Structure 1
Amino acid sequence: MADQNEYDVVVLGAGPVGQTVADRSRAAGLTVALVERELVGGECSYWACIPSKAMLRPVAALGDAQRVDGARQAVTGQLDPAGVFGRRDHYTTDWNDSTQAAWVAGIGADLIRGHGRLEGPRRVAVETPDNQIVVLDARQAVVLCTGSRALLPDIPGIAEARPWTNRSATDSHTVPRRLAVVGGGAVGVEMATAWRSLGADVTLISRTPSLLPMMEPFVGPMVEKGLKDAGIDVRNGVSVSEMRRPDDDDPVTVRMDDGSTVTADEVLVAIGRQPLTDDIGLETVGLLPGSWLDVDDSCTVREIDGDWLYAIGDVNRRALLTHEGKYQARVVGNVISARAAERPLDTNAWGPHQATADRYAVPQVIFTGPEVGSVGLTAEQAERSGRRIRVVDVDMARVPGALLWADGYEGQARMVVDLDGEYLLGVTFVGPGIAELLHSATVAVAARVPIERLWHAVPSFPTISEVWLRLLEAYRG
């Protein structure tokens, strides 16, 4: 016998994205059920952003000290794995979600633990941990925030190899003597950095000729140099064709398509993500299970009549980043409340009435040594879009404020300028300490601040933000 309940909004997935849309919906006076089959807080809190950055911060702190004369002499020994793991476990609350569950109750939403599946329009059936079925009817909206999981390639021997995904890479409490990392994207380079610093012998295998191929061309070689300087064996332009682990306690042999091999105690596969939409009842509303969900700029699913189904965060594939998913969630909360009140959507509004999620300025930081930050379009993307552009590059060693970060600072900055409008289309930084610099670039790109106004945003001396002055001087020529 199924219990049946009615809410204004039913949200599948209680990660940061689901929590944000629940909070915004509750603030509008709507009743909300938040469904979660694992831990409240989701992938980001326990297996992705939070634990990985908790592991990488000691790496960066040690690197900063070692790059400054006078400080490097005070640094002895290596990172302490137990200390790093303890710090990570603290920030993941030892994978205990009671605090986040209490937050859900605090906003007045109902937390339903279990696996939720669509059962036709505006209805969700939740299979609870005690094998009961709870049926939730949504008067206004169902919001899909189920996220994504690691993509594993279909290659011989992978099942027997039992590879790590991002989850094992961020919750392991032992350091493998040898680690092979398959994938040259953000997860691959970050986890190679972390585990090498913890003492593992790391080999990074990338099928692309350069690491981080979606970014500006100078990014990959600079990150590769940093990885190699840290003692990581980087192998570009090769694909894994086979894995072999004869017995559970044996090492893994990874064979590449060029005939070379790598032997490792563990293998991390970080080649991409796939949506967690294969078992959420999409077929009951005419959608393909396991697919990415196509949405409009209000994040309403396009192929569904009635404006009741929304997809935000990883599942819509616009940007697989927590901060972008939360941004979309704020928009969807506004859209749902406007439609519930039969109020027209204002596509020009912002803040509490913002009704569209912009894709113009998506920021991302990759916490390697050196750090990488980018927002907006690369030069290649801008040219493909038909814009007239100018590319401005600056060696960040020219910035006086760089002396605060490192002796012999190595870094690069690029801005891509729309020549017709004279505003920024994209900005990329590589170098120590650039993560907190990125938001200034995001503001400039998102707001399309005219170049002539940027001249009046005077950076403090001596800070690394002076790179803006150097970029503008180079643009003026």
Structure 2
Amino acid sequence: MTAQTLVDAVVVGLGPGGEETAGLLGEAGWDVAGVEARLVGGECPYWGCVPSKTMVRAAGLLADGRRIPGMAGTAMVHPEYGPVARAVRRATAGWDDTAAVERLTVRGVRVLRGTGRLTGRDEVTVTGSDGRESVLRASRAIVLAVGGEPVVPAVPGLAATPFWTSREAVEATAAPESLLVLGGGSVGLEIGQAFGRFGTAVAVVEGASRLLPREEPEAGDLLMRVLTEDGLEVHTGNPLTGVDHGPKGFTAWCERGERLTAERLLVAVGRRVDPSRLGVGVLDVDPDVPALPVDDRMRVVPPARGVPGVWAVGDATGRGAYTHLAVRQASVAVGDILGAAGGGVAGGEAGGARGEVPEAVPGTVPGVVPAAGRSRAEYHAVPRVTFTDPEIGAVGRTEAEARERGLPVRTGLADVATSARGRIHRVGNAGFVKLVADTDEGVLVGATAAGPCGGEVLGALTVAVHARVPLETLRATVWAYPTFHRVIGAALEDLGP
């Protein structure tokens, strides 16, 4: 008979959102079990945000060194990837999550290794790597926080080859001689440009008509120009029709007839979650849905008398695979969970298993609002950054998205080189700021900051979109000279009255 453990809450998946959820509930005095099949912390600290930015920063240093002649003296740059690989290993602790587990344990969370799936409204069955099963019974809440997996497109021959995903690319100990990147989105372009600066011959293939197809077309055009000048070969609107692998590496064929060869092939066309592996059928949720249906308090199923509620955060909600969004959703979910539990007191048999726990008042846990004013998830101002050089930062809706929704749209566009005179940074002053305004409401509904420090310039624009700051207030703002964020003022001038 499978052993059962009764707890207050079960969190399935301990990536950024799940780790934050479990930790906040643990700090509130709840008996929390967190389930993770891989590494606590998820994709971001081990194969995503943290190590990839280590690669990007190192590649940026090479680019800066190559710009010294003619501006600051003389310099000879000799790329060496070994130090980068070692820095990545240090940043990821050698892909060891011991510290992350200890961090959660200190917050009052017990960590279980294995794959979790719902086997009842209040029950999660955990299957360990050895095939053994254990059952967790939740008396108060279940939170589904599983991350996504890389999408492998149905290109003939591809699945049978030893292609890379971002994981293998990050773990590489040497820069390949040549690299074919399938996908012209953020991940493919960041890694492709980084390896290119270490001497790798890089070719990017994007099936859509432009790079970064989900962003403003001006952003894709800018990167097409800059990456081509950087030595990358870029193919857009030209999907692959077949892939083969042999002793000399990869061979790929494009729809227009090009034949491309490379030592390595990186698949970077996106990620997706498979809700069916979570057993969501017991919640009367269609297991074939691309993402879990949640309300604005992150509830899949609200709590009912005698039955815990089920919440979801992070990639599983389909709102974007961003660490910052997952952590925000965790705050919303925990605020709702503690409020629904009447103040967050661990109680019943589960709470008693840890002894008497002082009453936890919602709002005393960092990042969680009081139950009386529980916040709701909003998605009109979610920021996103592509850490290429130049950076592409964006928030809210693109012009096309705003028009598709029938909004009365006006745009403003300003060039960085014109508006930030005197500043030379990385790729010079290549870039722009584009604003998308709802003229009826008199507010920004979207914005893009492309160029040097684009992700940092995005901060001011994110506040403007999130807080729905009136355009007249933004126009009255004094922008420091000569900063890159001053381009926002120029874009507002172009937007007109």
Fold-level match, TM-score > 0.5?
Answer: yes
5+ long unaligned stretches in structure 2: 345-361
Instruction: Give, in angstroms, the shift of residue 216 of structure 1.
Output: 0.8
1:447 to 1:146, Cα distance in 2 relative to 1, 3 A? same
User: What code does the residue aligned with 1:214 have?
Assistant: R
Of 361, 364, 367, the match for 2:387: 367
Aligned to 2:249: 251
Aligned to 2:227: 227
Q: What displacement does 1:317 show?
A: 0.8
Deviations 1:300-353 (A, max 9, x none): 12699767111211111111111111111110011111111179x99xxx9514
Match of 2:477 in 1: 457
Instruction: Say whether 1:471 aligns with 2:491.
Output: yes
Equivalent position of 1:108 in the other structure: 108
Q: Which residue of 2 aligns with 1:199?
A: 199
Matched, 1:268 2:269: no
Structure-2 residue corresponding to 1:313: 314
Query: Aligned-pair distance for 1:122?
Result: 1.3
Task: Give 1:426 deviation, angstroms.
Answer: 0.8
Secondary structure of the 1:46 match is helix
Matched letter for residue 171 of structure 1: E
Letter in 1 for 2:298: C
Contact kept, 8 Å, 2:179 with 2:262, in 1: the verdict is yes
Q: Deviations over 1:230-259 (max 9, x none)?
A: 11110111111111124xx44111112222
- Which amino acid is the alignment partner of residue 61 of structure 2? A
| Matches of 2:69 and 2:215, distance apart in 1 | 32
Q: What secondary structure, in the 3-state scheme, does the structure 2 residue paired with 1:429 have?
A: strand
Task: Trace 1:112-131 onto structure 2 (pairs within 5 A).
Answer: 112-131=112-131
Structure 2: distance between partners of 1:464 and 1:4: 58
Report SS of the residue matched to 2:394: strand
Q: Is the 8 A contact 1:364 1:373 kept in 2?
A: yes
SS in 1 for 2:272: strand
Aligned counterparts of 1:204 and 1:145: Cα–Cα separation in 2: 32
Q: Secondary structure at the match of 2:29?
A: coil
Q: 1:380 aligns with which of 383, 387, 400?
A: 400
User: Is the 2:34–2:112 Cα contact (8 Å) retained in structure 1?
Assistant: yes
Q: d(CA) in 1 for partners of 2:39 and 2:87?
A: 20
Please say if residues 14 and 42 of structure 1, whose CA atoms lie closer than 8 Å, have aligned partners that are also in contact: yes
> Which residues in structure 2 correspond to 1:43-442 (within 5 Å)?
43-67=43-67, 73-246=73-246, 249-289=247-287, 291=289, 292-301=291-300, 308-341=309-342, 352-353=369-370, 354-400=374-420, 403-405=423-425, 408-442=428-462
Distance 2:74 2:94 in 1: 32
Gap change, CA 1:407 and 1:37, over 3 Å in 2: closer
CA-based RMSD:
2.3
Q: Aligned in 2, Cα 1:352/1:88: closer, same or farther, shift over 3 Å? A: same
**Structure 1 stretches lacking a partner, 5+ long:** none
Moved segments of 4+, more than 6 Å: 303-307
| Cα distance in 2, alignment partners of residues 261 and 303 from structure 1 | 54
1:25 maps to a residue whose letter is L
Using the TM superposition, give the Cα deviation of residue 89 of structure 1 relative to its aligned residue in structure 2, in angstroms. Answer: 1.2
Contact 2:395 2:448 in 1 (8 A): yes
Equivalent residue for 2:467? Answer: 447
How far residue 438 of structure 1 moved from its aligned partner, in angstroms, is 1.0
CA distance in 2, matches of 1:72, 1:359: 45
Residue 22 (structure 2) aligns with = 22
C-alpha separation in 2, matches of 1:108 and 1:456: 49
SS at the partner of 2:174? coil
- Separation in structure 1 between the aligned mates of residue 71 and residue 142 of structure 2, nearest angstrom: 54
Q: Which amino acid aligns with 1:430?
A: A
CA contact (8 A) 1:183 1:206 kept: yes
CA distance in 2, matches of 1:407, 1:110: 48
- For 1:372 and 1:67, locate their aligned partners in 2 and report how far apart those are by CA, in whole Å: 21
What's the offset of the Cα at 1:132? Answer: 3.4
Report the identity percentage.
Answer: 34
CA shift for structure 1 position 372: 0.4
